Structure 1
């Protein structure tokens, strides 16, 4: 660690002339490359936090007289901790703190005091379930006003889950009756209503990449991917300030996808290829508008060369929570955990991954969707935002016209979240 004595020993070489500088430069370089020394326990923050594992994204929860790692779920199962002077007191059990033996005991005992060491935005204080590094995420969100020209990762967009399964634009499910519509309005109307994210399933057929559920066999009036993409590109041509994102659940080969994209007139004029994002982060809205690159297409298909057509492999650029809150009726699971075990919602790096927040059931019933969509903002802010340590960028819902989805998007677009 560089300290006063180290600097004094370095300064003694200033009178040695050029040869002295030559001898000391390697020593200075070595000192500067030393790892950061963690902050001592007295620098630990005070307040109420979620304690989240860096590796798994799971939260520390009180479980009887012990501890467990649970999926982030607000405070529905004792996941909030009041931190003061190195003590972790569970907010549901006043006076009860985590001991060094990882049990629950009196906060008054010396065994309840932990030494916290800080490493950037991570902390080290005890090991549990294979985790040794933790995030401390405030329960009360820290926010700042949205800037006039926000970055892409600071914005939130209303997203239609299975946007093609609407019963208006064409058929989507075999055999001939299109049941369980995820939306009831066509793509053009969705765009007019403010939908800016579109989840589309594409399957391989002799006719190319076709939009349908599970299988395109016996689908009446099938719709090709290029048809809906053309609708979106035409919309962008007439609305020069708008940004649209497409998410492909992709079951076609690379050549079929390339051929389908080539059919879309004007696609390359608006297609955004994420150039420079890994080095510089996401562009601002104004930068995307100025370049006219305002359509992002993600695919969940593994890398096999299809990226050369301008689609982006989603797992490289986003995080996404589990796709279902449960069946179409009855109890729901509002926990917010990653769709991909190997990539927690808290993942970050040289740039901030975009956060896709799924908020829908297995089967879309109008009454259930109305209730769920009315709670969209609450789940986004109280559960998913702290679980990911980032604000959702895409709120994906069924039957987007029901509930308060537009209001939720507007609320999230009023601030920048700071974990």
Structure 2
């Protein structure tokens, strides 16, 4: 049977119309993918300058006892975790203890769960995960304390239950400590999808839970519970006898007041303590520490992060 010439023309014409359309779709898809990658690489933690800067060469202002929110004397923050992250805080510290009701559950408790219980660690982690889900160009650090010497596998189980583990960074050097000059850049962490860096003060074992890192293998800290409003010391407090060489460092820049032998957060003077400059300010103590160690702090922990000028201080310390 002879083919209908007009039918062949219609088929050929239709094919020619379809080809550019498919090429166009592929090209648009490719451009969109490139645009997405470019967007991911163009801003990191809110600034282009962070993208090419090593994690170990960034100063983060951090929230001390980030989960203890309220107006009671023992509480350290005014705003919740999401609000802290939204304002620009990227380093969250929190205390953990076993629940007094269920010793298989990890809670966020202030010294004792009888004194202050801010809920389950799993819920805290879920809040951070939800925020990371919605903020693709951000890297967050968690520093947890292990007040009850809980086995590291319990922390691992809690992290897994929260769904946050896919974000957790694992150093390429594991089980060895990653050298201070070998950390990836903030941009590399973002592009890899490993946008959560986790430290535990005591009890970490990367052979069992590879993404929960030993804080004191990586950091030293200055003294905490300071009542000297001038913050006149940057001496190493923990780990005892440690050398500054090869370690990042954390400055505990939160002021306490001593009431009949009990130290509580000094809410009244938070604005001055968290100022960017001036006597007893973030900038003043950071400058003192930088003079001693010849490098800026890696984290500066604050109470009442919404008071004062924490983010501008952070920008100043990073050279912006």
Tell me the TM-score normalised to structure 2 length.
0.72
Q: Cα offset for 1:314?
A: 0.4
Match of 1:337 among 235, 239, 247: 235
- Does structure 2 retain, via aligned residues, the 8 Å contact 1:360–1:398? yes
RMSD: 2.3
The corresponding residue for 1:35 is none
Q: SS at 1:408's partner residue? A: helix
**219 and 372 in structure 1: CA distance in 2 versus 1, 3 angstrom threshold:** closer
1:303 deviates by 4.3
Unpaired runs of 5+ residues, structure 2, are 1-48, 257-263, 276-280
Residue 203 in structure 1 maps to residue 101 in structure 2: no
State yes or no: 1:151 paired with 2:151.
no
Equivalent runs, 1:256-271 vs 2, <5 Å: 256-265=154-163, 267-271=164-168
CA distance in 1 between partners of 2:205 and 2:62 (Å) = 27
Conservation of the 8 A alpha-carbon contact between 1:163 and 1:183:
yes
Residues 1:219 and 1:369: Cα distance change in structure 2 (over 3 Å):
closer
Q: For residues 229-266 of structure 1, what are the alpha-carbon distances to aligned partners after superposition, in whole Å with 9 as ceiling and x for unaligned?
A: 1111111121111111011111323232222112111x
**Is residue 355–residue 390 contact of structure 1 (8 Å, CA) maintained in 2?**
no
Q: Give runs of aligned pairs for residues 135-150 of structure 1, distance below 5 A.
A: 149-150=52-53
- Asked if 1:239 corresponds to 2:239, the answer is no
The change in CA–CA distance for 1:256 and 1:149 in structure 2 (over 3 A counts) is same
Q: Which moved more, 1:252-261 or 1:192-201?
A: 252-261
1:185 aligns with 2:91: no
- Structure number having the greater helix percentage: 2
Structure 2 CA distance for aligned equivalents of residues 354 and 241 of structure 1: 23
| CA pair 165-219 structure 1, distance change in 2 beyond 3 A | closer
Q: 1:279 to 1:180 in 2, by over 3 A?
A: closer
Match of 2:184? Answer: 283
- Could you report, residue by residue, the CA deviation over 1:32-69 in whole angstroms, capped at 9, with x for unpaired residues? xxxxxxxxxxxxxxxxxxxxxxxxxxxxxxxxxxxxxx
> Retained in 2: the 8 A contact 1:162–1:183?
yes
Measured in 2, the distance between the counterparts of 1:388 and 1:299 equals 24
Aligned-residue offset at 1:320: 1.6
**For the Cα contact (< 8 Å) 2:166–2:194, is it kept in 1?**
yes
The answer to whether the Cα contact below 8 Å between 1:258 and 1:306 also exists between their aligned partners in 2 is no
Say if 1:199 and 1:246, in contact at 8 Å, map to a contact too: yes
Task: Give the conservation status (yes or no) of the 8 Å contact 2:221–2:249.
Answer: yes
Q: Write out per-residue CA displacement over residues 178-200 of structure 1, whole angstroms, 9 at most, x where no aligned residue.
A: 53221011111111111111110
Partner Cα separation in structure 1 for residue 51 and residue 236 of structure 2: 31
Secondary structure at 2:291 match in 1: helix
Aligned residue for 1:272? 169
Higher relative contact order (CA 8 A, sep 6+): 2
Structure 1 ranges of 4+ moved more than 4 A: 303-307
The yes-or-no answer on 1:317 pairing with 2:215 is: no
Q: 1:410 aligns with which of 291, 315, 320?
A: 315
- Residues 32-181 of structure 1: pairs in structure 2 closer than 5 A: 149-167=52-70, 178-181=72-75
Q: What's 1:134 paired with?
A: none
Contact 2:152 2:203 in 1 (8 A): no
**What do residues 75-110 of structure 1 show as CA deviations (whole Å, max 9, x unaligned)?**
xxxxxxxxxxxxxxxxxxxxxxxxxxxxxxxxxxxx
SS class of match (1:149) = coil
**Alpha-carbon offset, residue 357 of structure 1:** 1.4
Aligned to 1:72: none
Corresponding pairs, count? 250
Cα pair 1:202 1:249 within 8 Å, conserved: yes
